[in-house]
Amino acid sequence: MTTIRGAHADHLVPADEIVAHLRAAGYSAGKPRAAVVDAVRSMATAFTADELAAAVPQVHVSTVYRTLGLLEEIGAVRHVHLSHGPAVYEHAASADVRHLVCEVCGRHVGVPSDVFDSLRKRLARDYDFVLDGSHFAIVGRCREHAEG
């Protein structure tokens, strides 16, 4: 299946394009699925599947989960594990962001992925390993808790 993603980091693919892409891939895209797509696009920050389901109470929760899976499959959203607890979803336009989470207070910071460029290059050169780093957060301690 081909993917769909905005051309620029701050560009969200229009809902009608996402629905058309789903239909072209052979998936149904009726009113419930379109409502989920609209709700995803309205989310300003990362969100859990349950938060999304609460935003569309008229849609059965299983439809929300299935639609999130399809949206991830086509590249419109991605999920990230920030720490213990449910995965969070974010727009694919956020793909160039990596996540840092404080293991003490849970503070979350999004950083540009290029912060890890030198590490990425060293891992490739010295260990023949290609770092992705987008699926899980980097866990450590924020400035406030670094001394503990």
pTM of the predicted model, to two decimals?
Answer: 0.73
24-52 pLDDT, tens per residue? Answer: 888 888 899 999 999 998 888 889 999 99
Structure letter (DSSP) for residue 46: -
Please list the alpha-helical segments (H only) found in the chain.
15-24, 31-42, 49-55, 61-73, 117-127
SS3 state at 135: coil
β-partners of residue 101 are 108, 139
Confidence of residue 66 (pLDDT cuts 50, 70, 90): very high
Cα–Cα distance list, 100 to 74, 76, 81, 115, 119 (Å): 26, 22, 11, 11, 15
Average pLDDT over residues 54-66: 96
Cα 130 to Cα 93: distance, rounded to the nearest angstrom: 22
Instruction: Fill in the DSSP letter of residue 9.
Output: T
User: Does 74 have pLDDT greater than 50?
Assistant: yes
